Amino acid sequence: MGCSMIVPLDLRALSVDDRSAVADIYRVECAATAHARPGWVPLDEPARVAAWQADNGWSHQLVGAFEGDDLIGFASSSTADDTPDTSWLDVCVLPTHQRRGIGARLARAAEQAGPAGAERYVASAYLPTATEIDALVGRFAGPLGYARATTETVVELDLATAELAPAEVAAGTTVSTHLDGVPADLRAQVGVIKGLVDAEAPHGELGWEPTPVSVEDYERELALWHQQGRTPVESIAVTADGVVAAWTCVVVGPDPARPAHVEGTLVLTAHRGAGLGRAVKVASLLAVRDHAGAVRVRTSSDDANVWMRAINDELGFSPVESEVLVQKVRRDPSGA
């Protein structure tokens, strides 16, 4: 009569500077994400590792779940220097090991591994349908103490068939498009706008505040994209008196099978209602199609952001996925 040995689960800290560990982390992340998001195309391993290891104002604490020497899941807690009160959690478990409570154990371990000063944890998940999102929140996030903060819809545009006509803007306003960075004298203004994107768009219960991006951080982001083989395509609308009134950015990777993605779009409050959001968005999409080689572009908007959703609908974007953001507020930020 044969018997099988049960291998105990072991949770261990991981380092993004450990080459072997990073290769295993990448393998698990790809398997878990492809299982949850059919048709998903990953960044290649060097590009993904570059993001983890980048000196860009983010710190990452990772915990792995091992059976023997085999990594079967991991969780990360990521915290930005400019928002130390918020840690972002991510949990990935190999599909063959899911529904065994491993993800829940990893999530709790990642919370503990995060900075003691964090006042809340935030996580996001992408799934094909809102029904699957509801099931995930009820089955996994809710029992861990996370509440739904907001939902977004991911939409995609096929650039080969899209009908994109350049938009007219008011006299004195100039729309221009730039690959690999806007002119140096405009980067400080663009950094302010980038810091407003999440704060000024609808964001449910998340309570985002403006977080301006310094010129140095902007240039570090450009350097990371260059290292990854990706090209940022930015379009801006500049008024006659030199004010950057609107901005958008599409990031295009080297693999045409992976959709380019919109980093963000914003029009300053004083300049809204003049069609500048649509103008910069169309300008960037035309440049992506003509110069950057992407076939498809994806973006997402909060389900309450009726203005941006209307622009995307008009341009021909179609829904492809649902996203949920959940959060958990710590009772005692000191960790006691």
If you write DSSP's letter for every residue of 195-263 in order, what string do you get?
A: TTHHHHS--TT------PPPHHHHHHHHHHHHHTT-EEEEEEEE-TTS-EEEEEEEEE-S-TTSPEEEE
User: pLDDT grade, residue 3 (50/70/90)?
Assistant: very low
H or E element: which one contains 176? strand 174-179
Q: What is the CATH number of the domain that holds 212?
A: 3.40.630.30
Q: How many CB atoms lie within 10 A of CB 313?
A: 12
Q: What is the pLDDT of residue 15?
A: 96
In this prediction, residues 303-332 reach a mean pLDDT of 93
Q: What is the pLDDT of residue 6?
A: 55
Question: Are 238 and 91 contained in the same domain?
Answer: no
Q: Which residues of 11-23 are buried (b: 16+ CB within 10 A; e: fewer)?
A: beebebeeeebbe
Helix (H, G, I), strand (E, B) or coil at 58: strand
Question: Are 228 and 310 contained in the same domain?
Answer: yes
In this prediction, residues 189-209 reach a mean pLDDT of 94
CB 151 within 8 A of CB 323: yes
Question: Are 111 and 178 contained in the same domain?
Answer: no
pLDDT for 96-155, tens place per residue?
999 999 999 999 999 999 999 999 999 999 999 999 999 999 999 999 999 999 999 999
Question: Are 95 and 197 contained in the same domain?
Answer: no
In this prediction, residues 179-192 reach a mean pLDDT of 98
Token pair recorded at residue 212: 């301006």
In a domain, 112, yes or no: yes
In this prediction, residues 194-213 reach a mean pLDDT of 93
Question: Are 107 and 210 contained in the same domain?
Answer: no
In a domain, 194, yes or no: yes
What domain range includes position 292? 157-320
